[in-house]
Homo-oligomer: A and B are copies of this chain.
Amino acid sequence: MIIEGDAAAVLQTLPGQSVQLIVTSPPYADQRKSTYGGIHPNEYVAWFMERAGEMWPVLRDEGTFVLNIKEGAVNGERHTYVLDLIQAMRSAGWLWTEEFIWHKKNSYPGKWPNRFRDSWERLLQFNKQRKFAMYQEEVMVPVGDWAKRRLNELSETDLTRDESATGNGFGKNVSNWVGRDLVYPTNVLHMATECGNRKHSAAFPESLPSWFIRLFTTVGDVVLDPFCGSGTSVAAAIKLNRIGVGIDIDKDFCHISRQRVDAATLESCKLSLL
């Protein structure tokens, strides 16, 4: 279900304790001006906390809030509004459980005299209480793929400089996994951004919300994205047989989202027949 409107208002219409997972990538400060009007970094925390306050009653006590965000560079310095945001969330009662790293393999190109390309984003996990639902087995990784991916990275990057340490550490580590089928992942996720022919400004890849949906919800749970954009998270939820709810203030985005959601629903129907 896609609802058009400001999350601050729409959230008040949702029933309390109904959502198991909020996973969202809100407009970053001073970004996406064309679609969201661009919130100034200095006003961003107040803007966000107003909406986070409405999310609290909607989220189930054992639910989880995953926030994808990254601060930009201003006057040669990283802006601190994300740090302020974490502190503000804690002051409001949220627990800052974890910070995952999304390593974007295809980051935006460019060259500057004082800085390299920004190739990662934060995935902040907040909870209402220390005990929350987590299904770790759902995101386990086949050991074969794990090893293959690591070896790929080895050849691609400057890891060759790390010969001695890599040789010892990696080899030793591999021997630990021999004989196992599945291993638990870490808090570093490697995924490429979507920069294909979609109309919308490329959000995160569907595999990202999909990962957190499998980790923090089970079939039939409600997944909410209060800034759903083109509906990536909602479509991911539906494909995983969760109930996806998306909110966006932009009419065109809502239209795109509904099309994606319908396509995902249809796909789920077909799969259920097999």
A positions within 8 Å CB-CB of B: 73, 75-78, 80, 83, 86-87, 90, 95-99, 101, 103, 105-107, 109, 111, 113-120, 130-132, 134, 136, 139, 141-142, 144, 150, 153, 156-159, 161-162, 165-166, 168-170, 172-173, 176, 184-188, 190-195, 205-207, 210-211
Contacts and interface: CB of A to CB of B under 8 A. Distances in A.
Contact of A144 (B77, B98, B156): B156
Contacts of A76: 95, 97, 130
Contact of A159 (B96, B117, B191, B206): B191
A186 B101 CA distance: 14
A185 B111 CA distance: 10
A103 to B, nearest CB: 5
A209 to B, nearest CB: 12
Interface centre among A153, A168, A193 (most CB of B within 10 A): A168
Chain A interface helix/strand/loop/mixed: mixed
A252 to B, nearest CB: 23
28 contacts: A76-B97, A76-B130, A78-B97, A83-B83, A83-B86, A83-B87, A97-B115, A105-B153, A109-B176, A114-B132, A115-B187, A116-B136, A116-B187, A117-B184, A117-B186, A118-B187, A119-B186, A119-B188, A120-B188, A141-B157, A142-B158, A159-B191, A161-B207, A162-B207, A165-B206, A166-B191, A169-B192, A169-B195
Interface centre among A105, A134, A157 (most CB of B within 10 A): A105
Contacts of A132: 114
A60 to B, nearest CB: 16
Contacts of A136: 111, 116
Given A116-B186, A119-B186, 4 more contacts: A105-B169, A115-B187, A116-B184, A162-B207
